[in-house]
A and B are shown apart, each in its own frame.
Chain A
Amino acid sequence: MKRRDTVLKGIKELFYETRVLSGREYTIKRFAKEVLEGAVDPVMLGYIEKGTRFPNEALVRRLAAVRDEPAPPLLAVLYRDRMLHAFGRELRRALHDPKAVEGIADADLAVQVSRAVAALPDDGSWVPARTWRARIAGALRDKSRGSDVTRVVDILRERNLVEQEKGRVRRVARHYVAATPEERRALAMEFAAIFSKALLDKVALPDTSDTTFLRNHFLHIDRARLPEFYVRLEEAARGLAEEFADDAGAGTDFLNILLVGTPV
């Protein structure tokens, strides 16, 4: 199967890129009629590409056939998007947040921040600011939104995570804390997206999930030692991340490790 960009994509991006990147300059109307053989109304296809409607499973299977790919991975993207949509809706209620939650798009800010931090060397050495900004732009799902790069850069500078001078930039801290309500919502959606993908990889795509690791550890622990346990868990994870961190390239994946520990 053809290897694709690792940017977290939703089902809407898959429909959009299939139509636009086919090289035949399909309009939505022509794509719906000629490629999808009238399986979807053009207006509805427009809604799907904007992310305001979900396709049904039959349409996703048809898209997989058009892309000459197996259907299960694309269906897993659909399932994850639906889960995130439901999660976002409930999150909005929990946070008493009137802002409409789109779903996976709400995670964009947090995704871009994590890409931006990881694009700078752990040893604090300088890199050209232009190169860094280009790497952040590479993490944007909507390539036309160049202003998002500036926004991410501003956030990291305000939080003193990066330092810029004379056209170069370096990392001075590695931990980003979601502070504003928007940032907290974005990070919550990113965490949910990571967990949903990992879970679906394991339960819905067991034959192709060798790049995902999902495991649960459990123990009884003295309540007074819980803070110490979390400190050491963090140290271990951070140590591993810094030991294995590599320069982004054709042979690398952007790995996300989600740590959760909670008494139940």
Chain B
Amino acid sequence: MNVDMRAARAKLATALMIAVCWAIAGCGGSGSSGFDSVSRAIAQAIDDEACVAFDGQTFCASGVEAETTEFEGASVVIKAPDAPLLCDGHTLGVACAASLDFTTEGFMRVNSLLAAVSESEEGPWTLVPLEATDEAIGPRRVTILVPGQLDATTPSPFIAAVLVYAGVPPDVLPETAPRLADFGVELVYVSRRLELVLPRPVVDVRDPTAE
């Protein structure tokens, strides 16, 4: 009986504690709305070569030091060439791919990286393969593969995004998502607007009159 009483008291105490915590913490919600958009924030980060905060995420241009709590003073430098990337270095099934290199600097906490590409700031964003050197802290050299279409006849525009996670990324992530926020990331480095081209084989047109 005493055991039952103690168990009942414990249950009651737990219920009261939950109720009190609920009352103290408050269950209220708040929100905001506007005409701004995440794509505009990404565009601003690229155009102004700055870090732009938007709805809990920070978008930074290559080389700009982040001011987030987790990664203050750290940066990612995306080594984007001035000329379009050539889509012939690798193959990804039926598509081709080009390499885009970047380094990470000033990270003082363990972090993980993923990469995604999109045709424009508007999305959708698709995760792409990424290879990184082993150093968890300190400068790292990273290569991502940017996929291209073998039948493309004109340069394909794209933006590369490096997703920086404190610790490890979420277990389950979509392959493609409308927004970078869907990958559960708070710090994102974005490249300039780049282009991917598929080199055409040189056709040796012979002079038909020549022997």
Contact = CB atoms under 8 A, between A and B. Distances in A.
Interface of A: 110, 113-114, 117-123, 125, 127, 160, 171, 173-179, 184, 187, 190, 227, 231, 237-238, 241-242, 244-248
A103 B117 CA distance: 42
B174 to A, nearest CB: 10
B28 A245 contact: yes
B61 to A, nearest CB: 13
B36 interface: yes
A72 B182 CA distance: 49
B42 to A, nearest CB: 13
B27 A247 contact: yes
Contacts of B35: 177-178, 184, 187
7 contacts: A117-B30, A122-B29, A173-B181, A174-B55, A174-B56, A237-B32, A245-B26
A45 B167 CA distance: 65
B38 interface: yes
Given A173-B181, A176-B33, A247 B28 contact: yes
Interface in B171-200: 178-179, 181-182
B28 A122 contact: yes
B33 A119 contact: no
Nearest to A113: B33
Given A160-B179, A174-B55, A123 B34 contact: no
Contacts of B28: 118, 121-122, 244-248
B34 A174 contact: no
Nearest to A187: B33
B53 A174 contact: no
Top 10 A-B pairs ranked by shortest CB distance?
A117-B31, A245-B28, A241-B30, A245-B30, A246-B28, A175-B55, A176-B33, A174-B31, A247-B27, A120-B29
Contacts of B91: none
Interface in B11-37: 25-37
- Interface bin, chain B: 20 to 34
Contacts of B55: 173-175
Contact of B26 (A110, A171, A227, A247): A247
A181 B48 CA distance: 28
Given A160-B179, A160-B181, A177 B30 contact: no
Nearest to B56: A173
Contact of A171 (B29, B33, B181): B29
Nearest to B179: A160
A215 to B, nearest CB: 19
B30 A174 contact: yes
B27 A110 contact: no
A7 B151 CA distance: 56
A174 B32 contact: yes
Given A160-B179, A160-B181, A160-B182, A175 B29 contact: no
A160 B55 CA distance: 12
A110 B181 CA distance: 22
B32 A175 contact: yes
B30 A122 contact: yes
Nearest to B39: A177
B195 to A, nearest CB: 27
Contact of A246 (B26, B37, B53, B54): B26
A9 B104 CA distance: 54
